[in-house]
Amino acid sequence: MAAVRMLWMGLVLLGLLGFPQTPAQDLDPVQPNFQQDKFLGRWYSAGLASNSSWFREKKAEMSMCRTVVAPSTDGGLNLTSTFLRKKQCETKTMLLQPMAVSGHYTYHSPHWGSKHIVSVVETNYNEYALLFSRGTKGRGQDFRMATLYSRTQTVKNELKEKFINFSNAQGLTEEDIVFLPQPDMCIQE
């Protein structure tokens, strides 16, 4: 009987103090009923926003890249991006591993040695997608990045405005945002 009383006391204390935070409670919202198969295919990175000092220093040099989203063997996504760097086309692939909630993925950055949670916050699948990434970089530095993907290289002003509002809602300011120009090469078919 004492064990049952202790169990109930423990449950009452957890209720009063709040349950311990789990990673699922810290996740950003995602597109309702996210359908990964509709998200696959070619996208263009039309806008970026980040609180990273490296990003702020380099954003004037950045340009639009083409990203092909394909399913990975573990149920996640391979994002293969082709972009212009030092007047050469480069291709890199990121593996987004699936989480328990559809539309949430984890990404391990080999360059920074950090782990990020990537969320597909909003998409209509055939025109645009808003993604948000968060994690830590270096010595515990908070890292946040918003991305505007477009199915075409030309982005409507309404989508640019939507991206600015979305970025601001994530705590990113006007100086953190860039709309990427189309380079002369690398993003063509």
* The Cα angle at residue 94 between residues 92 and 99, in degrees rounded to 5: 175
Contact (Cβ atoms closer than 8 angstroms) between residue 48 and residue 55: yes
Contact (Cβ atoms closer than 8 angstroms) between residue 186 and residue 65: yes
Catalytic residue list: 65
Cα(88)–Cα(45) distance, rounded to whole angstroms? 18
Contact (Cβ atoms closer than 8 angstroms) between residue 51 and residue 171: yes
Q: Is 44 left (phi over 0), alpha (psi -120 to 50) or beta?
A: beta
Q: Is the dihedral of CA 14, 15, 20, 23 positive or negative?
A: positive
